[in-house]
Chains A and B, each alone.
Chain A
Amino acid sequence: MTEERSHTDSVEDTLVSQTYREAAVEQVPDELDQAVLQRARQHSSDRYSRSVIWLRPMAWAATIGLCLAIVVEISNVPQPTAEQLARPAAADLMTTGGKLDEKAVPVKRITGGTATTDTNKAIAPQRAETEVLRQRARKTIDDQGRVSLQDVPQHSKTEARESEFVPAETRESLESKDNGALLAPMLEEADRVSGLRTITITASPAAAAEPQATCDVKVRATPQTWLECIEALEEDGLDDVARKQREQLQAVFPNFDMP
C-alpha cells in the first residue's frame, strides 16, 4: 500500500480490499485484446503510411529539382577562355594610364564573319585579335601618356565595314572619356560581347604583321634604338610604317643626325 493512499484514505479496509481482489479475477477476453492491439497497430501504420506518402514524392521532387538546378547553373556559366583572353588587353590599357584617341580604341573587333558554335575555333582568332589590339594600344601611347594617331595603321576595308557594327553609345562613351581607367570597363564589355558571340575573326595580313612593324615606347626612348627599330621595319618591307616612324623621330629628336 502506498504512502499516499495510507495517509489520505483513512477509509481503507484491508478485509474489504482482500475480499474484493479474491472476487475480481476477470480477465479481458483474448479477442478483445487482439482487437485493441490490432487497432493500435493499424493506427500507427496508418500514420507511418501517411508520412511515407508525403515524404517519398517530396524527396524525389527535391532530388530532381536539385539536379535540374545544377544542370541549368552549369549551362549558364559563361565561356571562361574568351573573357580571360580579353581582360589582359584592357588591363594593359589601364596600367599605361594613357589617353586614347577615337581611332585607337580597340572596339572594332565585332566582326561579321562566319558565326560558329565551336568555341575552340572561335577562341584562336579572338586571341590573335586581342594580341593585335594590345600591341596597337601600346604603340599609340607616347612618352607623355598621350596617344597619337600616326602610328595606328589603317584598318582594312573589312575592319572599316565591321566598325559599323559598333554600338553608337559605345562610340560616344569612348569619345567623351579620355581616361584609360574609365575606358577599361567599356573595353571589357566589348570583349565580353565578342566572347559571348563566339564569332570567327578574319584578320587581314597587314594587321597580322603589325606586331613586328612597330616601335614601342621603350624603343623610342632614345633616338638610336628608335632608329634601329625603323631600320628593322625597312628591312621587313614596311616602308610606310618606317617612313612615319622616321618623321616622328625627326619631330621628337630634331637634333638627331639621322642618316
Chain B
Amino acid sequence: MIDASVLDPGGLALSRTGTVAYAPAMDSRIEDSALMLRYKDGDVGAFEILYRRHNNSLYRYLLRLCRHRDTAEDIFQEVWGKIIKARARYRPTAKFTTFLYRVAHNCFIDHVRRNQRHQNTVDLEPDTQRNPGDGPEIETERYLARRRLEVALQDLPEEQRDVFLLHEEGGLSVEQIAHVTGAKRETTKSRLRYAVKKLRAAIDEPTEAP
C-alpha cells in the first residue's frame, strides 16, 4: 500500500495552496490528488490533466539528474508507469508532487545501481530562451550565464544537484525534499545552500573576452 503520509508525515504539503515560483503552473480548481483519485476510478482524462501538469518538470529533473537523454526518458516512462500501476493503492495523504518525485528519485537511484550509464553527459543547449527586447550585449551575457550555470550544475555532486533540481523543478520545500531523498532536513538544507552558492558563483563569474 502506498501511503503518501510516509513521504510527508508532517502534512505540510497538504496545507500548501499557492504555486511555487518555478513550479509547474497548477490548476487550483482540481487538486492533483483529486485527479489521481478520479483516474483511480477510471477517468483517463483526469490522468491526462495530471500528466500535463508535471510531465515537463519531471522530464527536466530527470534529464539534468541523469545527464543522459535516453536514460532520462527511460526513467521518465518508468516513473509514470509506476504511478499508473499504483493508482489503485494511492491514498491522498500527502501532496502528489512529493509522491511523484519520490518515485522518480527512487527510480533514478535504482538505475544508478544497475549501471553507470547516467554518468555520460548531455548537451542541453540552454540557448533557446531569447528575449527580443534585450540588446545583443545583454542577450549574449545571459546566454553565457546560462551556459556557465549548466556546466556548474552538471559539475555539482549528485546529492546537491538532486536537491537543487527538486527545489526548482518540483517546487518542493526543504522539508519535502528531505522526505523525498530520505535525508535529514539540515543536511538537505545544507546541500541546497552549497548548490545555490556554487551556481551563483558560476553565474557571477566574469565573462572572458572572446
Residues of A within 8 A of B (CB): 1-5, 8-9, 11-13, 15-17, 19-29, 32-33, 35-37, 39-41, 43-44, 47-48
Extra inter-chain contacts (9) besides given A8-B175, A22-B129, A26-B60, CB under 8 Å: A3-B18, A16-B149, A17-B22, A19-B203, A20-B149, A23-B149, A32-B77, A44-B39, A48-B42
Knowing A24-B60, A26-B124, A36-B51, say if A1 contacts B20 (CB, 8 Å).
yes
A36's nearest neighbour on chain B, judged by CB, is B80
A28 to chain B, nearest CB (A): 4
13 contacts between A and B (CB under 8 A): A5-B173, A11-B189, A16-B149, A17-B21, A19-B203, A23-B146, A25-B128, A25-B129, A37-B47, A39-B80, A40-B48, A43-B85, A47-B88
The reply on B135 being an interface residue by CB < 8 A is: no
B126's nearest neighbour on chain A, judged by CB, is A23
Chain B residues whose C-beta falls within 8 Å of the C-beta of A33 in the assembled complex: 51, 55
**B200–A15 touching, CB < 8 Å:** yes
Knowing A8-B174, A32-B73, say if A37 contacts B126 (CB, 8 Å).
no
Interface of A: prevailing SS: helix
User: In residues 40-62 of chain B, which contact A (Cβ within 8 Å)?
Assistant: 42-44, 47-48, 51, 55-56, 59-60
A5 to B196, CA, bound (A): 15
A29 to B150, CA, bound (A): 21
Chain B residues whose C-beta falls within 8 Å of the C-beta of A11 in the assembled complex: 189, 192-193, 196-197
A16 to B51, CA, bound (A): 27
B52's nearest neighbour on chain A, judged by CB, is A33
Partner of B203 from the list A8, A9, A16, A21 (CB cut-off 8 Å) is: A16
**A36–B55 touching, CB < 8 Å:** yes
Chain B residues whose C-beta falls within 8 Å of the C-beta of A28 in the assembled complex: 55-56, 59, 76
**A24–B169 touching, CB < 8 Å:** yes
Q: Of A2, A9, A24, A47, which is in contact with the most chain B CB atoms at under 10 Å from its CB?
A: A24
A43 to chain B, nearest CB (A): 5
B199's nearest neighbour on chain A, judged by CB, is A16
Please provide the 5 A-B residue pairs with the shortest distance between their CB atoms, ordered closest to farther.
A23-B126, A23-B146, A11-B193, A22-B129, A1-B21
Contact with A along B190-210 (1 / 0, CB 8 A): 001100110110010000000
**B85–A24 touching, CB < 8 Å:** no
Chain B residues whose C-beta falls within 8 Å of the C-beta of A26 in the assembled complex: 56, 59-60, 63, 124
